[in-house]
Each structure stands twice: as structure tokens, then as C-alpha cells.
Amino acid sequence: THEPSHIDEICRRSGLNMPEASSTLAILELKGMVKQVGNMNYVLAHGVKPG
């Protein structure tokens, strides 16, 4: 969704550990697919549809 999700919640839902989630989110951020909105909270970038 376009509601912010904390990295801990992303790890829990995805099954990734913290380093894996962090590096994946960094790549997605560089590709413009997610945006960090502070305090390790992430949202889908504008125009990206939830899968």
C-alpha cells in the first residue's frame, strides 16, 4: 500500500533478515520504486502499484 511500513514490519512480512531487507530496499529506492519517509519507514513511490 501507500501507507508507510517500518523495516521491521517489512522483514516480518517478507521473511528477509535486516541486512537483506535493507539492501533490497536501497536498490528499490535507487530504481524509484520505494521511498524512505523517515525513521526507517518506506512507502511505494508514486505510480507504483502494490503487487
The answer to the question of residue 50 being in a domain is no
Which stretch of DSSP H or E encloses residue 26? helix 18-30
* Total domains in the fold of the chain: 1
pLDDT in tens, 3-45: 999 999 999 999 999 999 999 999 999 999 999 999 999 999 9
Residue 38 lies in domain: 5-44
Q: How confident is the model at residue 46 (pLDDT cuts 50, 70, 90)?
A: confident
The DSSP output letter for 31 is T
- Rounded to whole angstroms, how far apart are CA atoms 8 and 41? 9
For residue 24, tell me if it sits in a domain.
Answer: yes
Q: What is the pLDDT of residue 47?
A: 79
Which position has the grid cell 535486516?
Answer: 18
- Residue 43 grid coordinates: 512507502
